[in-house]
């Protein structure tokens, strides 16, 4: 629809620099269609203009260059290339993991443990307090305990304690993109528990799962905090299938999943208390990583609760994005990138339409069935608004 959005600010080209070529993962046509529909499904200005200059290729060496689907730039570490891709995409976004640098992880923990309206952490904590012994009994012999997105591992302590009660010793492999954070947490855990060895793995979820599959012996894999609910709804089953492919019949996969579908309480839970973690910290990180001048005060948080039929396979979900409060231009000097937002334009911090999915038992069972697992056990609280499931691989 409108004119080019990405132009090159005048600046010195770095003399010694590393060229990075990034091929974004192939997304199948059906997922692209769904994402585009989901992203544009409500009111507000749509993200349907193209962020390219000069017919798709910028002229200055050192700037972000988009050729077909590939993104080429200089002096950006490969790990940050998905962030550059997100910024320069039609659906402007940062990957969800980008929210979790060390400061982000601390901010997250502050909100979830102190908030009066976001009660998910407390509900999962009390479920684990009541059922950890039962949960760890799902694997009979000593196992390697692995946790995806372990963060502060504050609730995991209850599972670690139950494992140590049962087996005396334990190897715990926390997996998290926030590497320094989990290394610090790991040292503290080893100090706190005799018999515990912690082997932190800094990386993305599936890198961690592949790492675990190289280890001998049975494993218990944890995915707590309803973190699975942050995975793009169109990619959840594929991720589960990939995890299933790395597990053996004796392994177990335990997930904590939020079941609260009360619209009023959800809109309070996913409100302004998240702005520092969700908006100010990542925008500060963007400015630092790419020498930028993006102003977080010019974006507001927008949320909604999208209800899905209770007897369908797709869970309901809270959606969220930042809305640009004005037409604005920001410059990321390290990328040679001027980025324009229209007033009302959306900037996503989630990988899919969902910020956080809200499940029922039927949907959890269907998730297991569709990805090669059986729902072996299920624990819930009195209000039945939080659940933990144990998935067993179907041979």
Ligand X SMILES: C[S@@+](CC[C@H](N)C(=O)[O-])C[C@H]1O[C@@H](n2cnc3c(N)ncnc32)[C@H](O)[C@@H]1O
Burial 154-177 (b: 16+ CB within 10 A, else e): bbbbbbbbbbbebeeebbbbbbbb
The smaller minimum CB distance to ligand X, of residues 62 and 149, is found at 149
Q: Which is nearer to ligand X, 200 or 292 (CB)?
A: 200
Task: Choose which of 46, 63, 176, 340 interacts with ligand X (CB under 6 A).
Answer: 176
Minimum CB separation from ligand X for residue 159, in Å? 11
Among the listed ranges 60-68, 173-181, 183-191, 337-345, the one in contact with ligand X (CB under 6 A) is 173-181
Q: Indicate the residue among 204 and 337 with the shorter CB distance to ligand X.
A: 204
Yes or no: say if 347 and 341 are a contact pair by the CB < 8 Å rule. yes
The yes or no reply on residue 204 touching ligand X (CB under 6 A) is yes
Phi, psi of 182 (to 5 degrees): -75, -25
DSSP string, 261-278: --HHHHHHHTSGGGHIII
Tell which residue, 334, 229, 223, has the closest CA to residue 286.
334
Among 62, 82, 151, 292, binds ligand X (CB under 6 A): 151
Strands 316-324 vs 346-347: parallel, antiparallel or unpaired? antiparallel
259 scored as a contact of ligand X (CB under 6 A): no
Give the binding range for ligand X (CB under 6 A) out of 43-51, 86-94, 172-180, 242-250. 172-180
Q: Which is nearer to ligand X, 123 or 155 (CB)?
A: 155
Q: Is 53 in the site for ligand X (CB under 6 A)?
A: no
Q: How far is the CB of 96 from ligand X (least distance, A)?
A: 5
Residue 100 interacting with ligand X (CB under 6 A): yes
**Are the CB atoms for 196 and 189 separated by under 8 Å?**
yes
Q: Within 10 Å of residue 245's Cβ, how many Cβ atoms?
A: 13
Provide the minimum distance between the beta carbon of 119 and ligand X in the complex, in angstroms, as a whole number: 13
Q: Is 186 in the site for ligand X (CB under 6 A)?
A: no
Binding residues for ligand X restricted to 32-51, rule: CB under 6 A: none
DSSP string, 7-57: EPPP-PPPSS--EEEE-PPP--HHHHHHHHHHHTSSSS----S---SGGG-
**Matching residue, tokens 């629809």:** 1
**Is the CB of 6 or the CB of 182 nearer to ligand X?**
182
- CB 287 to ligand X: min, Å: 20
Burial grade of 192 (CB within 10 A; 0-12, 13-18, 19 or more): exposed
Piece of 96-104, 184-192, 211-219, 269-277 that binds ligand X (CB under 6 A): 96-104
Which residues partner with 376 through β-bridges?
A: none
97 forms part of the interface with ligand X (CB under 6 A)? yes
* Cβ nearer to ligand X, comparing 178 with 360: 178
Task: Indicate whether 273 belongs to the interface with ligand X (CB under 6 A).
Answer: no
Q: How far is the CB of 235 from ligand X (least distance, A)?
A: 11
Number of residues that bind ligand X (CB under 6 A): 18
Q: Which of 47, 132, 150, 316 forms a contact with ligand X (CB under 6 A)?
A: 150
Look at residues 250, 380, 362 and name the one whose alpha carbon lies nearest to residue 310. 362
Cα distances (angstroms) measured from residue 335 to each of 7, 19, 91, 253: 11, 12, 19, 41
Residue 254, interface with ligand X (CB under 6 A)? Answer: no
Can residue 135 be called a binding residue for ligand X (CB under 6 A)? no
Residue 93: DSSP 8-state: B
Q: Do 387 and 257 form a contact (C-beta atoms < 8 A)?
A: yes
Give the residue nearest to ligand X (CB): 225
Nearer to ligand X among residue 125 and residue 341 (C-beta): 125
Give the 3-state secondary structure percentages of the chain, helix then strand then coil, rounded to 5. 40, 25, 40
CB of 340 to ligand X, least distance (A): 28
Q: Which two tokens stand for residue 86?
A: 């997100």
- Other CB atoms closer than 10 Å to residue 392's CB: what's the count? 19
**Smallest distance, ligand X to C-beta of residue 31, A:** 17
Q: Among the candidate windows 40-48, 144-152, 236-244, 340-348, which touches ligand X by CB under 6 A?
A: 144-152
Token pair in block for residue 77: 């570490």
**Rule CB under 6 A: is residue 96 a binding residue for ligand X?**
yes
Residues that bind ligand X (CB under 6 A): 96-97, 100, 105, 108, 112, 149-151, 155, 176-178, 204-205, 224-225, 227
């Amino acid at each position: 629809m409108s004119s080019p959005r990405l132009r090159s600010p005048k600046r010195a080209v770095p003399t010694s620099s590393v060229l990075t070529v990034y091929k974004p993962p192939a997304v199948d046509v059906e997922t692209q269609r769904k994402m585009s529909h989901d992203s544009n499904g409500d009111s507000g200005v749509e993200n349907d203009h193209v962020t390219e200059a000069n017919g798709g290729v910028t002229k200055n060496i050192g700037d972000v260059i988009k050729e077909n689907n590939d993104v080429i730039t200089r002096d950006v570490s490969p790990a940050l290339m998905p962030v550059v891709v997100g910024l320069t995409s039609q659906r402007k976004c940062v990957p969800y993991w980008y929210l979790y640098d060390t400061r982000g992880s601390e901010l997250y923990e502050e909100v979830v443990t102190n908030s009066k309206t976001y009660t998910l952490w407390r509900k999962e904590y009390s479920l684990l307090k009541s059922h950890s012994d039962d949960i760890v009994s799902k694997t009979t012999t000593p196992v390697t305990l692995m946790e995806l997105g372990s963060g502060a591992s504050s609730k995991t302590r209850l599972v670690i304690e139950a494992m140590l009660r049962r087996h005396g010793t334990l190897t715990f492999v926390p997996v998290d993109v926030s590497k320094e954070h989990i290394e610090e947490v790991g040292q503290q855990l080893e100090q706190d528990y005799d018999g515990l060895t912690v082997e932190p793995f800094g990386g993305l979820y599936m890198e961690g799962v592949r790492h675990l599959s190289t280890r001998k012996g049975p494993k218990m894999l944890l995915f707590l905090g309803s973190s699975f609910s942050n995975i793009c709804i169109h990619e959840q089953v594929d991720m589960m299938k990939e995890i299933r492919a790395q597990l053996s019949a004796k392994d177990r996969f335990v997930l904590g999943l939020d079941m609260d579908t009360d619209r009023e309480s959800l809109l309070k839970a996913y409100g302004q208390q998240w702005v520092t973690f969700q908006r100010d910290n990542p925008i500060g990180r963007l400015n630092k990583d790419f020498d930028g001048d993006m102003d977080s005060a010019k974006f507001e948080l927008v949320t909604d609760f999208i209800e899905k039929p209770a007897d369908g396979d797709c869970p309901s979900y809270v959606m969220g994005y930042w809305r640009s409060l004005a037409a604005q231009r920001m410059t990321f000097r390290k990328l040679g990138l001027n980025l324009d937002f229209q007033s009302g334009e959306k900037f996503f911090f989630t990988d899919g339409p969902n910020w956080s999915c809200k499940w029922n038992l039927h949907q959890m069972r269907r998730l297991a069935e569709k990805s090669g697992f059986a729902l072996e056990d299920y624990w819930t609280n009195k209000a039945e608004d939080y659940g933990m499931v144990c998935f067993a691989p179907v041979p």
